[in-house]
Structure 1
Amino acid sequence: MDARQLEYFLAVVDNGGFNRAAAALHLAQPSLSQAIRNLERDLGGMLFHRIGRRVVLTEAGHALIEPARQVVRSLEVARASVDSVHAIRTGRVDIAAMPSQAVEPLSSMVSRFSERHPGVRLTVRAAPWPRTVMEMVRTGVTELGLLAAMDPPAAADLTVHPIEKHRFVLVARPDGPFPPGRPVTGDLLAGQRLIAGQKGTGMRQVIEDLRAQGVDLTIAVETEHREAILPLVLKGVGVAVLTEAWTPLAERAGALVLDLIPPSYLHVALVSRKARLTPAASEFLAIALAPAAIDSRSL
């Protein structure tokens, strides 16, 4: 068994089959199949059930995913460390990010990093919940993760780097019932139709907390797509609770953004593996956590 075989195994897992994995690897499909058969022989068991053109992971295959990612990731660290003896000129940083945080602060982090290291490619993977971000970092799918939670995040097997707090705001049409510049209390929201995120998100939790306090709210639309919320607000479908990361975009689009009283916050943090990071990921983390950068965004 070698690292190349594990890379091939993960390509089949991530691409959902041998044909797409072979294309992604720029490898002939028979060569990929033979490499996987050799890996199965070395391990003494099948990793995939072949069902027609489909493949389904066996129990052994599921058990191999996490250690395989750790081996492949460690090899990437070794390669990148050698390549960066003189400077971080090339490489890749893989980041898992929740939707709102991918708008901000991630866009600012990426901008600052890219200015200093334009040759490094950044890959941002979508993750809907904090636990998804942590699992992607924990299993080696990404090296870094950006998440936000109602309570300060914590994980014994990961390093958590607190960034800032994001306040929740109300986004509405400018010709709606709320006057510009005046904070909105729960009682003023009574009877409103809301465009809400799915259960488990911070924005949905704010709505459910208001309902628990007796505020009569109707969820007109529930969506997993954050990019759909602002257009729906501007079309008059309802109002929305978002984090202040969306404020610049919402205001440029012509929406009204108002503070909610009492305030609620999301705690934003970067997470990383406790194992050694690639030089590029370490540099990204250092730039993202630089005091001047954090202070410029603090509330």
Structure 2
Amino acid sequence: MDVRQLEYFLAVVDNGGFNRAATALYLSQPSLSQAVRALERDLGSDLFDRIGRRAVLTEAGRALIEPAREAVRSLQLARASVESVQGLHSGRVDIAAMPSQAIEPLTEIIRRFTRLYPEVSVRVQAAFTLREVTEMVRTGASELGLLASPTAVVNGDVRSYPLLEQRFVLLSPPDGPFTPGVPVPHAELAGHRLIVGQTGTGMRKYVDDLRTEGVALTIAVETEHRVAILPLVLSGAGLAVVTDSWRGWAEQAGALVLELEPTTALHIALVSRHSALTPAAEAFLESALATAAARGAADLLGRPDRSSAP
């Protein structure tokens, strides 16, 4: 068994099958299958059940995922540590991010990081809930994670690095039911139709908590496609509760962005495993913390929010 075989095994897992994995690895499908078969012989157990064109993980295959990721990450760490002795001139940072946070604050974080380290690439992987981000980092599928939580993130399976808070605001069409510039009390959402994301997101929890508190609102649309929320609001399909990272983009599109009372916010944090990070990930983390600190100072000075997308 060698690390290359483990990388091939993980490629099949992550790409959902041999054909897609072979394409991602720039290998022929027979070559990939042969390498995985050799790994199975070494381990004395089948890792996949081949069902037609599908490859379904066996119990042994599921047990191998986390140790395989650990082994691959350890080799990557060793290589990257040696390469960075003369400075950070190569490498890649893998980060799992929730949709809204993948735009803001991640856009600003990446902008500053790539200016400092132009030869290091950043790969952003999609994760739709806090739990998905945490699991991707814990299992080694991603080295870093960017998440939003209704409460402060505490160290558990992952190590957390608080960045900032994002307030919840209300999106409304320009001819909506509320007065521009006037905060909207929670109780006044009663009787209105709302557009929400899927269960497990902070924005969805906010709306579900309002209903639990007795605010008689109606969920008009539930969508996993975050980019659909603003067009739906502008079309009159309903209102939406989002974080204030949407403000710039929403206002440019013509929507009203209204404060909510009482003020509630999501805690935004980076997370990592408790084990050592690659030099590129360490540099990214340092840059992100510096970016968050600079943004906090700008907010205290009353500078305008430069957020521009959901």
User: 1:285 is matched with which residue?
Assistant: 285
More displaced, 286-295 or 249-258? 286-295
Q: Using structure 2 for the length normalisation, give the TM-score.
A: 0.92
SS of corresponding position for 1:215: coil
| Partner Cα separation in structure 2 for residue 28 and residue 210 of structure 1 | 53
User: 2:254 is matched with which residue?
Assistant: 254
Q: Deviations over 1:152-198 (max 9, x none)?
A: 11232321101111110001012112111100012322211111112
The answer to whether the 8 Å contact 1:99/1:126 transfers is: yes
User: 1:235 is matched with which residue?
Assistant: 235
The answer to whether the 8 Å contact 1:165/1:298 transfers is: no
The answer to whether the 8 Å contact 2:146/2:270 transfers is: yes
| Partner Cα separation in structure 2 for residue 297 and residue 123 of structure 1 | 28
Alignment of 1:1-299 (within 5 A): 1-290=1-290, 292-296=293-297
In structure 2, do the counterparts of structure 1 residues 77 and 298 end up closer, same or farther at CA, with 3 Å as the change threshold? farther
The answer to whether the 8 Å contact 2:47/2:59 transfers is: yes
The answer to whether the 8 Å contact 1:163/1:294 transfers is: no
The answer to whether the 8 Å contact 2:220/2:237 transfers is: yes
Q: How far does residue 293 in structure 1 lie from its aligned partner after superposition?
A: 2.6
SS of corresponding position for 2:140: coil
Question: Which amino acid in 1 is paired with 2:99?
Answer: P
Among the aligned pairs, what percent are the same residue?
A: 64
Q: How far does residue 147 in structure 1 lie from its aligned partner after superposition?
A: 0.5
Q: Deviations over 1:249-293 (max 9, x none)?
A: 111111111110011111111001111111111100000011643
| Partner Cα separation in structure 2 for residue 21 and residue 211 of structure 1 | 44
| Partner Cα separation in structure 2 for residue 12 and residue 280 of structure 1 | 26
The answer to whether the 8 Å contact 1:203/1:243 transfers is: yes
- Show structure 1 runs of 5+ residues with no match: none
More displaced, 281-290 or 150-159? 150-159
| Partner Cα separation in structure 1 for residue 224 and residue 298 of structure 2 | 27
Q: How far does residue 206 in structure 1 lie from its aligned partner after superposition?
A: 1.8
Paired positions, count: 299
The answer to whether the 8 Å contact 1:17/1:54 transfers is: yes
Q: How far does residue 297 in structure 1 lie from its aligned partner after superposition?
A: 6.2
Q: How far does residue 63 in structure 1 lie from its aligned partner after superposition?
A: 0.3
| Partner Cα separation in structure 1 for residue 212 and residue 299 of structure 2 | 30
| Partner Cα separation in structure 2 for residue 207 and residue 268 of structure 1 | 19
| Partner Cα separation in structure 1 for residue 295 and residue 275 of structure 2 | 25
Pairwise CA RMSD: 1.5
Question: Which amino acid in 1 is paired with 2:4?
Answer: R
In structure 2, do the counterparts of structure 1 residues 276 and 186 end up closer, same or farther at CA, with 3 Å as the change threshold? same
SS of corresponding position for 1:230: helix
Q: How far does residue 29 in structure 1 lie from its aligned partner after superposition?
A: 2.4
| Partner Cα separation in structure 2 for residue 218 and residue 31 of structure 1 | 54
In structure 2, do the counterparts of structure 1 residues 298 and 156 end up closer, same or farther at CA, with 3 Å as the change threshold? farther
| Partner Cα separation in structure 2 for residue 258 and residue 18 of structure 1 | 49
| Partner Cα separation in structure 2 for residue 61 and residue 209 of structure 1 | 39
| Partner Cα separation in structure 2 for residue 71 and residue 294 of structure 1 | 37
The answer to whether the 8 Å contact 1:134/1:145 transfers is: yes
Q: Deviations over 1:115-166 (max 9, x none)?
A: 1112211111111111110110011111100001111112323211011111
| Partner Cα separation in structure 1 for residue 298 and residue 10 of structure 2 | 38
In structure 2, do the counterparts of structure 1 residues 297 and 66 end up closer, same or farther at CA, with 3 Å as the change threshold? farther
